[in-house]
Structure 1
């Protein structure tokens, strides 16, 4: 199949903007619990629709008093927290445009985004962020105001607007239309300087309303349970932003968690107890690997692996039944599954708070077997695909027919087309308006409304999309063999000891790989084998560890021909990090930067 179109379920409203939902909901149901936030003692407290409306209105008044006007661009540089959502909707209320910035961005990255977007004011989380901006402030003459969340920014701005009347705010709000720009989100810059994606209120309203309507089992809940989610994705990323908008518009209780690590995340999941989560595959891998390590420590690795196999077979049988190619799980498999549900699967669900039954995954590919495991364990993960330029999801697996290992079908109102060279093209109301100040890049990406994604993929007979790589990342060996590195890298990463993998081989005689290790998994692995802790330099020379990584490489090579296989690899002492410029803020590999930083190691892979 070369093209798949899904009829629309929702459309962008003909009038209004994103902030209207805040005021409409407060008017219709003021006592509805709209958000959850932690108090000073770390306890979760409810925020009603009326409470949130009042805070948004008061902050919007303050922004007007501080000189922010319709069409002005205001940057937010922070981790994911309640105040970001508050500022988003206050700024949208007065027609301002939000420019999100990752809190880990370097001074030069911050400078470029603030300069390119002609930002007139910025909200930062704390003093370190303020100092980052201070180092480049002399090159930003248009930047007039700087507020610090940890320095009382909300109270400060709110106090400034006490004399502004409500009608002044509403006059601004009524001037916002679906075509108005809501945000400028900069791409992660894997292949060059970040580009500012111009996304309208209508883009977000179409995307959010479509997701809420089509994935109703995710965004709704049982009658006695308020639908809720804990947002821990970066709000600087379009995925996190879409979740924010969808939950507010869909009347889903929204809470925030600023730290994307298991130590901080797991306790908050267990305290807040969301009904669904939206995450990247990394999170699901962490939950699974933590469960496996615990089972090994408790001497129950055998039963755990049997439970995993049972979950995979159970979900695989359910999938076959959904597509009419099988009868579903057998009676014996259902009985075995019921036993493991009490012994194993319930504990996996407890790690996510105990109430999660649905989840959505995006950002990168999820291994089919991992998806089947979670489905068999009682948490259906709907994998999807999208870009900043498509306002997050362009495809996703439908609730009634999830095909694990794919990124699903076009969301309603969207068309997916596979070009002659295998590139994925998208069309729909979620496609962005273009790149800010870059008509050449816009013309290269948009063709009569079609978005050329730069990703390579294929559609099966039912319209399910599989992403196979990036056009710019295809490696061509000196023998002329074209190799897509993504599937090899993802399969190597399936091994619990592997943190990252980058495949190299452009203009080289064969394919090779650099591999980094998961420190937690390695520490557990050493302990289970009675080995003493080692330094990173000792680890990379350990023959047993090398054997484990070789198993991962061999497994990856089963996916490709001999000419495309990884011939050799090297284990690195340290992970690729954003701090060293080797990862984007969304944790994608910066291939050129990595190959430059590890040029000596790459050369060593090709010495005879």
Structure 2
């Protein structure tokens, strides 16, 4: 797929689908009692059409901007496609955004109407509304917004809506997605209909076989990533364009997510490494409770060795698993691997992972347990994935090869540059920032990376995140942090040491895992303040640090660390909505603790 589509916009897929296959199930929708119901393509088209009429009746015009502020739920997808149907542009806003962030995004993008999920969001928007003279409409989902809009637009003729839809061209703006901003003010990335069409159609064409559990079954995915993030939006659009049944789950925590995976039974999922780590850790804890830690760890080892042997065979480096290894693998299939898959609903055989780097060993474990995880890489500015591991030759520990129609170039300083039809057209109203990252159609990503002899990309860090010690040693913190986080008791890790004599780290723990660990040792639960001084916990974290230090030279190694009583949270402004560390904010908030590491 080399060229961007020449006609139409993203909403056309909804209407084409309903005309060609009106009874096909396109979405799953959960009711207030938690039961899932099927929505056909004809039903979805009718709902989109009715909502589009309501938007027109409420004064939304072609080219207007409509903000969407909600968790991941069915109505977001409904609003997105209705907004695109009338030729307006949607502006996604994270539901956890502060009043000042909301003000900046609504003001910067000149939003005229806003959909929010509930009362708290209404209050947030309401607190800044006097500074937003252009904002004319505010709808609240939990207060009957959809019914209100449907009623308001009932008198409008279908043809009026279709005239708007037909006026949309591929180069029309589809959405303005604000970067989560680990540094400075969020910038609005302008993504066109063509950007998303190219991105989603390329992925569908290349990876369509992996959407299914087995050939011929109905493809289905449960979306639990935030729809305010480009990865979630890409999934939403790809599901409609690729005719994959789509469900929504608003809570990214394992406790809420795992029951819905079992109820919805997706055939593949799109996740961030954090979710895969949680699924693995839950299985490990269950084995400990059942007194089966030894067999579980043996099963993990067998899965990793089996997957590594399969990987070597795919790259012509070995014969594949030995007969003995195949027998061991078969032995653990029912006992361990099948149960891990059952926790994901039973039908998942493939997953796509992005957003941050995944530990190679974790990827190999899932592969050996019967779930192939395709790791990919991209940015908001590249409409999500620019590289991904190909279905037949996954190289764990890398983010794969360029997707078809994309070129990856490594600049002299190691920066990753991207070129392709999915690269955005610039930042809204900010030519200076646009010129800083776009060079003759090439996107300078700010990420550092390397290509191997087969064209697989490995991300090694971010240009802005390189630490330079007072001794002049440059250190990329990401690899160290990931290895420390691989320990089941560790939740987060931030490496510090800029302009300091050596590298050190702040570590937070996973409370659920720690409670389980204490119970397994017959120890009473500890308050967070006591936990950070527990010598046994310190010993466990030290092990994680020692393991991380094996990756680097002595000058780059973590010399000392501090365990913190509470995790870094989005609420306190220490994480971006996609769970990335806001380094400067964390170092400022924990300045006393950081100083103590050097005295």
Taking the aligned partners of 2:209 and 2:97, their CA distance within structure 1 comes to 36
Alignment-derived partner of residue 3 in structure 1: none
**Structure 1 residues 220 and 175, CA gap change in structure 2 (3 angstroms):** farther
Q: Which residue of 2 aligns with 1:181?
A: 173
1:523 aligns to what? Answer: 515
Between the two structures, name the one with larger relative contact order (CA 8 Å, sep ≥ 6). Answer: 1
Residues in 1 aligned to 2:115 and 2:339: alpha-carbon distance in whole angstroms:
40
Which runs of structure 2 are paired with 1:181-580 in the superposition (5 Å)? 181-220=173-212, 222=214, 225-580=217-572
Select between 219-228 and 321-330 the one with higher mean Cα deviation. Answer: 219-228
Give distance in 2, aligned partners of 1:328 and 1:415: 32
> CA offset at residue 221 of structure 1?
5.1
User: Does 2:75 correspond to 1:83?
Assistant: yes
Q: Return 587-596 or 217-226, whichever deviates more.
A: 217-226
- Shift of residue 42, structure 1, vs aligned partner: 1.7
Residue of structure 1 in register with 2:114 after alignment? 122
Structure 2 distance, partners of 1:217, 1:534, is: 48
Deviation, 1:56, is: 0.4
Q: 1:10 offset after TM fit, Å? A: 5.3
Question: 1: distance between equivalents of 2:26 and 2:40?
Answer: 5
Kindly report the root-mean-square deviation, in angstroms, between the aligned alpha carbons of the 2 structures.
Answer: 0.7
Deviations 1:406-426 (A, max 9, x none): 000000000000000000000
Q: Give 1:352 shift.
A: 0.2
Give the C-alpha shift of residue 47 in structure 1.
0.5
Distance across 1 between alignment mates of 2:130 and 2:19:
45
* Within-5 A mapping of 1:31-50: 31-50=23-42
Contact 2:353/2:375 (CA < 8 Å) preserved in 1?
yes
Separation of aligned partners in 2, 1:217 and 1:418: 31
CA distance in 1, matches of 2:434, 2:38: 43
**Post-superposition CA distance 1:218-248 (Å, at most 9, x none):** 2345455210000000000000000000000
Task: Tell me if structure 1 keeps the 8 A contact 2:312–2:318.
Answer: yes
**Rounded Cα–Cα distance in structure 2 between residues aligned with 1:322 and 1:224:** 25
Q: Who is 1:68 aligned against?
A: 60
Contact preservation (8 Å) 1:434, 1:446: yes
Give the Å deviation of 1:11. Answer: 3.5
**Residues 545-584 of structure 1: CA deviation (Å, up to 9, x unaligned):** 0000000000000000000000000000000001111001
**Is 1:606 the equivalent of 2:598?**
yes
* Secondary structure class of the residue paired with 1:352: coil
For residues 150 and 482 of structure 1, the distance between their equivalents in structure 2, rounded to whole angstroms, comes to 51
8 Å CA contact retained: 1:499, 1:515: yes
Gaps of 5+ in 2: none
Query: Per-residue displacement from partner, 1:358-403 (whole Å, max 9, x unpaired)?
Result: 0000000000000000000000000000000000000000000000
Matched residue of 1:42: which SS?
coil
- C-alpha separation in 1, matches of 2:88 and 2:256: 33
Matched residue of 2:233: which SS?
Answer: helix
Aligned residues: 599
- Give me the whole-angstrom Cα distance separating, in 1, the residues matched to 2:396 and 2:3: 28
Preserved CA contact (<8 Å) 1:33 1:253: yes
Shift of the alpha carbon at 1:262? Answer: 1.0
How big is each residue's C-alpha offset from its partner over 1:67-98, in whole Å with a ceiling of 9 and x where there is no partner? 00110000000000000000000000011000
Q: Which whole-Å CA distance do the structure 2 matches of 1:565 and 1:159 have between them?
A: 63
Partner in structure 2 of residue 59 of structure 1: 51
Contact 2:213 2:268 in 1 (8 A): no
Q: Are 2:213 and 2:349, in contact at CA under 8 Å, matched by a contact in 1?
A: no
Cα deviations across residues 85-113 of structure 1 (Å, max 9, x unaligned)? 00000000011000000000000000000
TM-score normalised over the length of structure 1: 0.98
Q: Which residue of 2 aligns with 1:135?
A: 127
Give the one of 134, 148, 160 matched to 2:140.
148
* Counterpart secondary structure, 2:518: helix
Question: 2:213·2:348 contact (CA, 8 Å) conserved in 1?
Answer: no
Q: Secondary structure at the match of 1:435?
A: coil
TM-superposed deviation, 1:43: 1.1
Using the alignment, how far apart are the partners of 1:464 and 1:451 within structure 2?
18
- Which of 579, 584, 590 is the equivalent residue of 1:592? 584
Contact 2:26 2:39 (8 Å CA) reproduced: yes
Q: 2:162 and 2:255 mapped to 1: Cα distance?
A: 43
Residues 65, 90 of structure 2: 8 Å contact kept: yes
User: C-alpha separation between the residues in 2 aligned to 1:544 and 1:13?
Assistant: 59
SS in 2 for 1:434: coil
The answer to whether the 8 A contact 2:549-2:558 is kept is yes
Residue number in structure 1 paired with 2:151: 159
The separation in 2 between residues aligned to 1:218 and 1:146, in whole angstroms, is 40
**Which stretches of structure 1, 4 residues or longer, exceed 6 Å deviation after superposition?**
none
Q: Contact (CA 8 Å) 1:10, 1:209: kept in 2 or not?
A: no
Q: In 1, distance between residues paired with 2:564 and 2:33?
A: 42
Contact 1:217 1:358 (C-alpha < 8 Å) held by counterparts: no
- 1:495 and 1:154 map into 2 onto residues whose CA distance is 45
